[in-house]
Amino acid sequence: MAKKSNSSELKVSKIKEGTVIDHVDAGMALIVLEMLGITGREGTVATLSMNVVSKKTGRKDIVKIENRFLEYTEINQIALISPNATINEIKNFTVVKKFDVQLPEVIVGFPKCINPRCITNAREPQVQTYYVKSVDPLKIRCKYCNTNMDKNDVVKQLTKYSGITK
């Protein structure tokens, strides 16, 4: 019964329905789950592989999430911290859609600006808007206060949001 298949097929074919995020930057798998609001408490079945050897990037993480497909904004969030990530949508054990994440030139509504005086952090806030200056390494600039943020700043804002890191 054993059928030969190449290793990438093997990796993505294990879930019946859902999303496999491949080529996640090594060490970012948990942050990706956090961004997607997946804690495990809601019952989501997710599998993480961390620091897997990759031909493309040396080391990578892989995140598999069952019965969950990603929204456009979620894909952009992943692109912020893992610009080389590939999204695979799986239906009935088959990859029905595969594409690389791509950051738009302008990001809206995410993440929180690190400048506490920024108008996006005011009581009646403007919606966060950033210009993408560089993808890898990440550099985004707030439209309202011109504050630059890098990948660490984004990750820090995220972990603050969900309260996992105190």
Q: Which one, of 71, 31, 44, lies nearest residue 161 by Cα?
A: 31
SS3 at position 141: strand
Print the binding letters for residues 102-141 with Zn ion: x by CB under 5 A, - otherwise. -----------x-x--x-----------------------
Distance CA 74, CA 79 (A): 9
- Give the relative orientation of helices 151-162 and 72-81 as an angle to the nearest 10 degrees: 130
Q: How many CB atoms lie within 10 A of CB 86?
A: 19
Print the binding letters for residues 46-85 with Zn ion: x by CB under 5 A, - otherwise. ----------------------------------------
> What minimum distance in Å lies between the beta carbon of 121 and Zn ion?
7
SS3 at position 77: helix
**Residue among 77 and 144 whose Cβ is closer to Zn ion:** 144
> What minimum distance in Å lies between the beta carbon of 145 and Zn ion?
4
Among 145, 148, 159, 161, binds Zn ion (CB under 5 A): 145
Asked if residue 90 lies in contact with residue 96, where contact means CB atoms within 8 angstroms, the answer is: yes
Among 35, 70, 78, 142, binds Zn ion (CB under 5 A): 142
> What minimum distance in Å lies between the beta carbon of 108 and Zn ion?
13
DSSP 127: P
What does the binding site for Zn ion look like in residue numbers (CB under 5 A)?
113, 115, 118, 142, 144-145, 147
